[in-house]
Amino acid sequence: MFNIDKGIETITLKDILKRTTEYDIYQYYIGGNIKVGKIMSSPFRSDIHPSFGIFKSSKSGDLLWKDQATGETGNVVKFVEKLHNISYKDSLQKIWDDIIIGNIQCSAIGKYIKDSYENVRTTISISRKNFTKTDDEYWEQYFIDRELLKKHLVYPIQTFWVNDIMSNIFYTKEKPLYAYEVYDKFQIYNPYGDRKDKFRTNCTTYDLYGYEQLPWTGNILIITKSKKDVIVLDRLGYTAVAPTGEHASIPDKLIDQLKNRFKKIYIFYDNDEAGIKGAKKLSASIDCPYIHIPEEQYKKFGIKDISDYIKAYKITKSKELIKSLIQDSKILNTD
């Protein structure tokens, strides 16, 4: 048994993290549902305006905290030290006694964060804001309302931070700004931004957009190319997920899970060169058919995805389109 005071053996953070996770330590002492990369009220004081955040260090890989009001930052042991006003050594002992000796079990999200962040070098945090008429007007053109956005964890944001550096992109009425939350990570969506500023994400290939909202089983699953298309397809009555991009791979482990949970899977990428290439590659890889917007709509009107289509042709015709595409689909001949 470890006991620092008696000098029998020295506890280290490494010893502790063999038995639990940094996330679970923060969770134990803060309580509630904490989220990595999201600004929250400070546990150190009464905090009217949220000013505290937990983030993954891009250098060390540690799960760190930062008090934006004071600029203080540190690891999970420094957090307990400050929270309880005790020494670093006593903080290690307290964590050991409270969590390890107390037999507090690792949570699923704690294990997920630990595993999924092994190769992540970018952290993103956000400053959320309330929905306004500006947001309603943008999303209503795709027949998406606030309830559907909340279901898919889409938030209007004032701005965001990348590796603890504030972005120079801010929400305005002319250029609203959104965050798609995927587990403990984010994709930033800047609808009217330049190509280089339109998206920013720290999601990995394991972080499929829409995966958290999936029913456990179903008849049809559509793999599409963006979070917005996932939400539009949900509006049309179809279950969907999307990788981080049309050329992003989906781990075999996830594909196997999806095939076990859904009777039929269809790939629905853009009807452009990149989209068709990506769809064919994935189709051949997982042995599932791909569909796309008809050539006529793409060549004449520049409609290349289901979001463009519902905006132009409304709900009824969009439902009819998907139904006909699925009925006419065939497995790609790779010979």
pLDDT digits (tens, 9 = 90+) for 158-182: 999 988 788 999 999 999 999 999 9
The domain segmentation of the chain, as residue ranges, is 13-116, 124-201, 215-225+238-328
For the chain, give the percent of residues with pLDDT over 90.
Answer: 61
If one looks up domain 215-225+238-328 in CATH, what number appears? 3.40.1360.10
Architecture of domain 13-116: Alpha-Beta Complex (3.90)
Q: pLDDT at position 142, please? A: 98
Q: pLDDT at position 4, please? A: 45
Q: What is the pLDDT of residues 223-270, one digit of tens each?
A: 999 999 999 999 999 999 999 877 778 988 899 999 999 999 999 999
Confidence of residue 132 (pLDDT cuts 50, 70, 90): very high
CA distance 292 to 296: 11
Average pLDDT of the residues of the chain: 88
Confidence of residue 122 (pLDDT cuts 50, 70, 90): confident
Confidence of residue 138 (pLDDT cuts 50, 70, 90): very high
- Please indicate, yes or no, whether the overall pTM of this predicted structure exceeds 0.85: no
- According to DSSP, the β-strands at 199-201 and 73-74 are unpaired
CA distance 157 to 172: 10
Could you tell me which residues come within 8 angstroms of residue 202 by beta carbon, excluding any fewer than 6 positions away?
37, 120, 122, 123, 124, 185, 186
Beta carbons of 207 and 128 less than 8 angstroms apart: no
